[in-house]
Structure 1
Amino acid sequence: MKNIRLGNSSLEVGEISLGCMRMDQLSKTDAEEVIQNAMELGVNLFDHADIYGGGKSEEVFADAIGMNSSVREKMILQTKAGIRDGLFDFSKEHILESVDGSLKRLKTDYIDVLLLHRPDALMEPEEVAEAFTVLKKSGKVRNFGVSNQNPMQIELLKKYVNEDLIANQLQLSLMHTPMIDAGLNVNMQNDASINRDSAILEYSRINDMTVQAWSPFQYGMIKGVFVGNNDFPEVNAKLQELAEKKGVTDSAIAIAWILRHPAKIQPVVGTMNPDRLKDISKASDVELTKREWYELYLAAGNKLP
């Protein structure tokens, strides 16, 4: 698998990362197979959050891999904080408590990347800055980023925090493309021209922030999987056509479509099926032409101005 640099950090990560939200549903043996398989494929960034499985996903992960220093140095662990009892909380107290909890569950003494999970409307950036400084100086967190934030929210944070923000995790798939649509339909009066997130894709490229695409197989706002879904015959026909042409699966083509973008977007794939991850990982070796990329975009129901 090809590697990319995560933001402007020194971290070299696989083009595709593994989201561990559903790892709490696995046995220790099955979880170990998932993790080992991922690492053999070149997937070295494992994405967690303190709320996944109520914290159990992190526990299962660490127990399954038999976490120790030699194993730890081979992987990049990323986790998220900021959701508390169904609400959002970027307070210094909660961020510090959340990280300590994740460290304990993951059986490690440092997190490679900490993301703020969902924007907190009551965020006080000075508090976030204090928390980041404590975590950085203590060695508990080495890099920081955000999730689901727009440029002005990020700029507000950057006014106070001393640490670089290297990643922004955002929903993106072939069937959920608002950040791309707005950039194509400039100065138009159609729905696709509505800029819902202040040019976050272009902002991320300018500021060397890696966009991590979550739910890369979902359509709408996590309404369901579109690959192999009979409700979307046109896009699935195009996916299958290209899959046969490239010698991979339709899911690999859906990921290759994301990887083809020059922003070097990193998909976060949540499958807990080793064979499926093997198939998906082949997307890293697929070369889509510009025409093929646009044909898929149009087959997904989009129109060009």
Structure 2
Amino acid sequence: MKDIEIGRSGLRGSQIALGCMRIDSLADADLAALLTAARDEGITVFDHADIYADGRCEEAFGRALDAGVVRRDEIVLQSKAGIRPGRYDLSGAHLIAAVEASLRRLRTDRLDLFLLHRPDALVDPDEVAAAFDELHAAGKVLHFGVSNHSAGQIALLAGSVRQPLVADQLQLSVAHTPLIDAGLNVNMASAASLDHDGGTLDYCRLHGITIQPWSVLQHGYFAGSLVGSAEYPALNEELSAQAGRHGVTPAAIAVAWLLRHPAAMLPVVGTTRPARVRELARAADVELTREEWYSLYLAAGNSLP
């Protein structure tokens, strides 16, 4: 698997990231097997958040780091913060405390990338900038980004923060395509022309911000896997047909659909099974044609104007 540059930061990582949202359910030996499979497939980006199992996922990963399952200097370690019970919180004090807590749990002295997990209606960009400055100057965070933020929200933050925002983690799959739909239906009198994201895809491309798709095999908001779903018979037929041609699984084709986009996205795949890691990593070996990409888009129930 080849590396890509994340944003215009100089930070390089694998084309696919392993999401660590559920690794707290694994025994240490099983987690070691999962991370070893990821390492062997060339996956070097590992995604965390402080709320994943109330920090237990970061704790489990920290034990694996201590045990030498993966080497700290060979991976890109990222985490997110800003979601608290009943509210979002991007206050400077919370961001600093959250990073320091993540570092303790992960048993590391730095995060390669730190993302603001959700927009906060009460955010003060200057307060975020001061927190970023403190974390960066202390060497606790090397690069910064956002998650689930619109173009306008990124621009608001960018007006204050001094470090480049290099990533935006957004929900995107072949069965959940609002980021793409409006761009294909410009000036059309149809629901598909409604821009729910404020031109975020184009904004990120213009400003060198790497989109990290999450829920890459889901449809809707945690509505279930798109692969094998009775709600998407045409899509699954097309996924299977393309999987047969490329010698991979339908799930790998769904990930390859994201990799085919010229925005050089970095999909986050979430699994606790080594075999699944190896299966999904094969997506990096597939280059879909333009015809195949559009065939999947249309098979998911979309239309072109």
Q: The TM-score by the shorter chain falls in which range?
A: over 0.9
Q: Any stretches of 5+ residues in structure 1 without a counterpart?
A: none
Amino acid at match of 1:18: L
- Please say which of residues 178-187 and 224-233 is displaced more in the overlay: 224-233
Q: Which string of whole-angstrom CA distances, capped at 9 and with x for unpartnered residues, describes residues 267-295 of structure 1?
A: 00001111011011011010110000000
Q: In 2, Cα distance between the equivalents of 1:70 and 1:43?
A: 11
Residue 66 (structure 1) shift:
2.3
Residue 74 (structure 1) shift:
0.9
1:86 counterpart residue number: 86
The answer to whether the aligner puts 1:57 opposite 2:57 as a matched pair is: yes
- Against the structure 1 CA distance between its residues 265 and 70, is the aligned structure 2 distance closer, same or farther, given a 3 Å change threshold? closer
Q: Which string of whole-angstrom CA distances, capped at 9 and with x for unpartnered residues, describes residues 190-241 of structure 1?
A: 1110001111111000000000000000101221111011221110000000
- Please say which of residues 27-36 and 68-77 is displaced more in the overlay: 68-77
1:196 counterpart residue number: 196
The answer to whether the aligner puts 1:159 opposite 2:147 as a matched pair is: no
Residue 86 (structure 1) shift:
3.5
1:12 counterpart residue number: 12
Tell me, yes or no, if the aligned pair for 1:174 and 1:254 is still in contact at 8 Å.
Answer: yes
Q: Any stretches of 5+ residues in structure 2 without a counterpart?
A: none
Q: In 1, Cα distance between the equivalents of 2:123 and 2:147?
A: 14
Q: Which string of whole-angstrom CA distances, capped at 9 and with x for unpartnered residues, describes residues 238-268 of structure 1?
A: 0000001100000000000000000001100
1:260 counterpart residue number: 260
Tell me, yes or no, if the aligned pair for 2:218 and 2:224 is still in contact at 8 Å.
Answer: yes
1:282 counterpart residue number: 282
SS of 1:218's partner is coil
Amino acid at match of 1:171: Q
User: What aligned pairs does 1:215-226 form with structure 2 within 5 A after superposition?
Assistant: 215-226=215-226
- Please say which of residues 122-131 and 82-91 is displaced more in the overlay: 82-91
Tell me, yes or no, if the aligned pair for 1:35 and 1:65 is still in contact at 8 Å.
Answer: no
Residue 67 (structure 1) shift:
5.4
1:211 counterpart residue number: 211
Amino acid at match of 1:75: I
Residue 87 (structure 1) shift:
1.4
Q: In 1, Cα distance between the equivalents of 2:140 and 2:68?
A: 16
Amino acid at match of 1:97: A
SS of 2:236's partner is helix
Amino acid at match of 2:269: V
Q: In 2, Cα distance between the equivalents of 1:243 and 1:70?
A: 31
Amino acid at match of 2:281: S
Q: Could you state the TM-score of these two structures normalised by the residue count of structure 2? A: 0.98
Q: Could you state the TM-score of these two structures normalised by the residue count of structure 1? A: 0.98
1:32 counterpart residue number: 32
1:120 counterpart residue number: 120
Residue 15 (structure 1) shift:
0.6
Amino acid at match of 2:164: D
SS of 1:219's partner is coil
Equivalences, count: 305
2:95 counterpart residue number: 95
Aligned Cα root-mean-square deviation (Å) = 1.2
Amino acid at match of 1:251: A
Q: Which string of whole-angstrom CA distances, capped at 9 and with x for unpartnered residues, describes residues 90-123 of structure 1?
A: 0011001000000000000000000000000000
